[in-house]
């Protein structure tokens, strides 16, 4: 029996698919080469932008024929999209051949539902819980081992669906993380460990006693062995001087800092509920550059946020010019149902969003070219 997993979205999802693979292998399934030869196909979905959701609908829809040929094929859809009740129900009604729909917290029930599926379709959504420490991972990212340190997000940036589909921030116990890292290091198969969370800088604030992210990094670095440790993603509002000092002083910590700015304009940042200003953001960048001269700094930007004027967009361009990032991800704002920004007046046309995203990408390319030359 073979499985095939299709993963959309961020590294959290990539890592969660490693857990899904672990569950399936424990059940006796083997990893298949393609969808066509699979007995079970899992779509681990992303809801961050409309485009990501459309791709899932297209790819799930394309399985209709395969399911007709092979009635025993099991099709599972899970991940962030299914955590939205409306979308989950839409999936079930539009694609009657989908067998199991699970929310982000219920993946632990996959085995149970595979056994039950002969009795009919299975749907189970929101049920907030803790990370299940007992489930195995099948690590698939080569020399890099992902380690989840927290779930969820408390920030409610007004454009973002994540807090709605991933719940509130919940940190893993430090000892559990350290044990996982010790195990990974002992295996000697991985050169790099990447810590994952939507907002790693606020790690440990919900623990008793509290542990700071910088302390967690120091404790990981104290584990003996030859490895590098990286992390993503940082929120500028929580990036402390202490953390910058830790990154600078610990040789095991990778000097890559992904620090999403989203916009270079203070009015838009406020509307986005990002809780920092352009000036504050630039002061952090300056500290990073002063203390970690070889740092590789990257960022995310959203263009065409509701009411964004041409001048406000140009302040994003000028921020990119000022920071001279090593690379950026530029996204066109995509309204997500249920978020505050999706109901704001002054939505920007697709045409303008395209123009702005192209300008931003062209600027970044120009900067990279110049910096590569120098
Ligand atoms: N529209 C466009 N981009 C978004 N992002 C998050 N939500 C949206 C949205 N509604 C971007 C942000 C974030 C990255 C992972 O995705 O830039 O940092
Ligand atoms: Fe979304 Fe903001 Fe949380 Fe990042 S910090 S996951 S953009 S709400």
- Direct distance between the N- and C-terminal alpha carbons of the chain, in angstroms, rounded to an integer: 54
Both 108 and 14 in a single domain? yes
67 and 88 share one domain: yes
Q: Is the CB of 201 within 6 Å of ligand 2?
A: no
Residue 262 shares a structural domain with residue 221: no
**CB of 163 closer than 6 A to ligand 2?**
yes
Q: Using alpha carbons only, what angle is made at residue 39 by residues 37 and 40, rounded to the nearest 5 degrees?
A: 115
Residues 104 and 115 grouped into a single domain: yes
Place of tokens 């779509």: 43
> 183 lies in a domain?
yes
Ligand 1: does its nearest atom lie under 6 Å from the Cβ of 262?
A: yes
Helices (H) and strands (E) in the chain, counts: 13, 14
- Do the Cβ atoms of 219 and 178 come closer than 8 Å? yes
Q: Which domain does 348 fall in, by range?
A: 257-374
Residue 269 shares a structural domain with residue 195:
no
In a domain, 129, yes or no: no
3-state secondary structure of 102: strand
| pLDDT greater than 90 at residue 2 | yes
Q: Within a domain: residue 164?
A: yes
Shared domain for 245 and 286, answered yes or no, is: no
Q: Are residues 160 and 270 in the same domain?
A: no
284 and 232 inside one domain? no
Q: Which ligand is nearest to the CA of 168?
A: 2
**Which domain-ending residue is among 200, 227, 254?**
254
DSSP 205: T
The length of the chain is 374
Residue 117: pLDDT band by 50, 70, 90 thresholds? confident
H or E element, residue 76: strand 74-79
**DSSP E strand boundaries for 8-73:** 30-31, 40-45
Q: How many domains does the chain have?
A: 3
In terms of domains, do 31 and 115 share one? yes
Task: With respect to residue 140, please indicate whether it lies within any of the assigned structural domains.
Answer: no
In a domain, 216, yes or no: yes
- Cα separation of 176 and 301, whole Å? 34
pLDDT tens, position by position, 218-265: 999 999 999 999 999 999 999 999 999 999 999 999 999 999 999 999
**Statement to judge: residues 231 and 261 lie in one domain:** no
The residue whose CA has the least distance to atom 18 of ligand 1 is 300
Residue 133 lies in a domain: no
pLDDT of 189 over the 70 cut = yes
CA 155 – ligand 2 centroid, Å: 6
Cβ-in-10-Å burial (0-12, 13-18, 19+) of 103 comes to buried
Within-domain flag for 134? no
Residue bearing the CA closest to ligand 1, atom 13: 300
pLDDT, average across residues 258-278: 98
CATH number of the domain to which 353 belongs: 3.30.750.200
Tens of pLDDT, residue by residue over 287-328, are 999 999 999 999 999 999 999 999 999 999 999 999 999 999
Ligand 2 geometric centre to CA of 167 (Å): 11
d(CA 67, CA 74): 8
Are 146 and 14 spatial neighbours (Cβ–Cβ below 8 Å)? yes
In a domain, 160, yes or no: yes
Residues 107 and 169 in one domain: no
């Amino acid at each position: 029996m073979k499985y095939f997993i299709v993963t959309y979205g961020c590294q959290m999802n990539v890592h969660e698919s490693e857990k899904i693979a672990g569950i399936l292998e424990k059940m006796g399934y083997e990893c298949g080469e393609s969808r066509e030869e699979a007995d079970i196909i899992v779509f681990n979905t992303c809801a961050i932008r409309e485009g990501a959701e459309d791709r899932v609908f297209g790819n799930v829809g394309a399985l209709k024929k395969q399911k007709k040929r092979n009635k025993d094929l099991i099709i599972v859809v899970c991940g962030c999209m299914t955590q939205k009740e409306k979308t989950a129900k839409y999936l079930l009604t539009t694609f009657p051949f989908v067998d199991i729909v699970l929310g982000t917290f219920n993946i632990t029930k996959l085995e149970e539902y595979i056994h039950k599926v002969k009795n009919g379709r299975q749907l189970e959504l929101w049920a907030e819980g803790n990370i299940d420490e007992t489930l195995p991972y099948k690590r698939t990212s080569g020399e890099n081992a992902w380690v989840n340190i927290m779930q969820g997000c408390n920030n409610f940036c007004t454009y973002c669906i994540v807090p709605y589909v991933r719940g509130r921030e919940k940190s893993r116990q430090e000892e559990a993380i350290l044990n996982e890292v010790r195990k990974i290091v002992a295996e000697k198969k991985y050169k790099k460990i990447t810590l994952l969370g939507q907002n790693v800088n606020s790690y440990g604030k919900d623990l008793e006693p509290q542990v700071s992210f910088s302390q967690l990094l120091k404790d990981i670095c104290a584990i003996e062995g030859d490895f590098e440790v990286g992390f993503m993603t940082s929120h500028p509002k929580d990036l402390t001087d202490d953390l910058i000092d830790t990154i600078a002083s610990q040789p095991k910590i990778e000097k890559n800092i992904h620090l999403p700015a989203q916009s270079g304009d203070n009015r838009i940042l406020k509307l986005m509920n990002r809780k920092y200003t352009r000036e504050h953001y630039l002061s952090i960048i300056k500290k990073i550059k002063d203390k970690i001269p070889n740092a590789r700094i990257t960022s995310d930007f959203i263009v065409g946020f509701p009411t964004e004027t041409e001048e406000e967009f140009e302040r994003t361009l000028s921020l990119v010019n000022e920071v001279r990032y090593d690379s950026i991800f530029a996204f066109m704002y995509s309204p997500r149902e249920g978020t505050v920004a999706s109901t704001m007046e002054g939505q920007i046309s697709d045409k303008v969003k395209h123009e702005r995203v192209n300008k931003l990408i062209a600027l970044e390319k120009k900067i990279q070219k110049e910096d590569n030359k120098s």
